[in-house]
Amino acid sequence: MTALQKTMAKKETKQTFEQSLRRLEELVETLERGDVPLEDSLRLYEEGIGLSNECLAILKRTETRIKQLSKDLSGRIQLTETDGDE
Amino acid sequence: MAQNGIITVTELTRRIKGVLEHGFTELLVQGEISNAKLHSSGHFYFSLKDESAQLNAVMWRSRVQNLPFRPADGMKVIARGNITLYEPRGSYQLDCLSLQPLGVGELQRAFEQLRNRLMAEGLFESSRKKPLPEHPSVIAVITSPTGAAVKDMLSVLRRRMPSLEIVLVPVRVQGAGAADEIAGALDLVNEWGGADLIITGRGGGSMEDLWAFNEEVVARAVARSRVPVISAVGHEVDFTICDFVADLRAPTPSAAAELAVKEASDLIELIGNYCYTMHSSVMNSIAVRRKTVEHLVRSYSFHRPIDLLRQRSQTVDELSRRLEHSSRQWFQSAALRLREYTGRIQSLDPALVLKRGYAIVRQEGRVVSAAHNASVPGEAVITFHDGALSATVHDRTTEDHGKERD
């Protein structure tokens, strides 16, 4: 029951979109196979719905952030916001 | 001239200088570069030679910066310039205004030499290629901040995946020093560590214009990059060393942007489908459990305390209520979101799905979502978007034969 173990272990920091989507895909597969007890499948389902909400919220963001990366004279890395050049 | 026909070194040198500097201007000299030395001042000192003679030459820094390629020993070139005489040393040299590789053939040869060498080293092996992230969140773009390429890339990236974070690393993409800047930018992105993917490239141009991407410093920087690199230099027909070393070659800068990210709207649809699949999977297993419980109630009711059975049946009911609740909520909020964004939620509408050529199979009023759930033999009703057919189910083929449930 690895899917469940992962569910338990997954209480860590914020995930990237890629991680969330991958986990969602894993859940869909597990549920489709239908070989988990009903109680568990419901829990996985709820996790899946949560993840898809997270992913949709990210995809819904519309303003692309554009930054500029450079090094100053003393060799420090600088990340500056630009207002997009349009 | 002084008496006795004696003149000073300085006087003689000045006279020679006058003759040389007036007599040898606007020359085009063909030869092979040797003793090439780029001084720390930025001036480039070299000799031009052929089988039997040699000519010292210098190119001042301001002109070196405009060179489309990096001159190196052994390269055959045409140098344009004037002869000058340097009095303190009594030596004459070619003051080189511009350098041109002797035809594209020479650049081509340099290209092939480096390509063969790096290939022999295994730098182009597919086993070295890093997999690209499927859904990058942060993309570093290394290119000229003023070219058409950067505009193209930004607009494609923005259009496809508006939630993206793009980090520009502005560099010069042609002329002397461009290769070093590109290599430096690749290292910088790696040192920074915040990007999931790098795209480097530029728009089309002559082989000389694209030359920076054929230089070894760039190839090495791409090879050592821990962040996957897409190379997009020039047009579809242009291949550079950078393309060979990169984890992926894109035919053009905009194509690189297309390859880098999926379309947000496609992903929204995909996630919608996932939710639909999860929902029907769970519904399906609830139906199966309910059936099992009903079966138990019928067959064992004489042997087991009725309370236990009621309890089980209640659990199933409760779970299905919970599912309905959470899914209804989800579908409501998702519908709002999706409609707001693209209206693609419509693809979940069964009526529209049916219009796309799908059909729903029912037996005794229940949806048959899998072959193993069908009663065989039996009757079935197949619903299309415009009506229904009744059908007889003869037999079943499933992927795991013999594991039939009733």
Interface of A with B in 30-59 (CB under 8 A): 31-32, 34, 38-39, 41-42, 44-46, 48-49, 52-53, 55-56, 58-59
Name which of B264, B275, B282 is nearest A41 (Cβ-Cβ).
B282
Verify whether the Cβ–Cβ distance B154 to A52 is below 8 Å. Answer: no
What pLDDT shows up at residue B308?
Answer: 64
CATH (domain of B39): 2.40.50.140
Chain A contact set for B372 (CB, 8 A): none
Verify whether the Cβ–Cβ distance A49 to B158 is below 8 Å. Answer: no
Taking the Cβ of residue A24 and every Cβ of chain B, the question of whether any pair is shorter than 8 Å is answered with: yes
Cβ contacts of B258 within 8 Å, gap of 6 or more: B156, B160, B250
Within-domain flag for B25 = yes
What pLDDT shows up at residue B366?
Answer: 78
pLDDT tens digits, residue range B254-271?
A: 999 999 999 998 999 999
Q: What is the DSSP string of B338-393?
A: HHHHTSGGGGG-HHHHHHTT--EEEETTEE--SGGGS-SSEEEEEEETTEEEEEEE
Within-domain flag for B108 = no
Taking the Cβ of residue A21 and every Cβ of chain B, the question of whether any pair is shorter than 8 Å is answered with: yes
The residue among B260, B278, B301 that closes a domain is: B260
First to last CA, chain B: 124
The residue whose two tokens read 């720390």 is B40
For residues B183 and B295, membership in a common domain is answered with no
For residues B406 and B320, membership in a common domain is answered with no
What pLDDT shows up at residue A11?
Answer: 37
- Domain containing B356 equals 349-406
Percentage, residues of chain B above pLDDT 70: 85
Tokens in use for B367?
A: 């949806």
For residues B138 and B244, membership in a common domain is answered with yes
Residue of A nearest to B195 (CA): A69
For residues B315 and B211, membership in a common domain is answered with no
B336/B208: higher pLDDT: B208
In chain A, what's the furthest Cα-to-Cα distance? 61
Stretches where chain A sits below pLDDT 70 are 1-14, 83-86
Per the structure, the count of domains in chain A is 1
User: Looking at CA atoms only, how far is residue B169 from chain A in angstroms?
Assistant: 5
Q: How far, in Å, are B248, B307, B310, B379, B406 from residue B299 at the CA level? A: 63, 15, 14, 26, 15
Per the structure, the count of domains in chain B is 4
**A vs B: CB pairs below 8 A:** 137
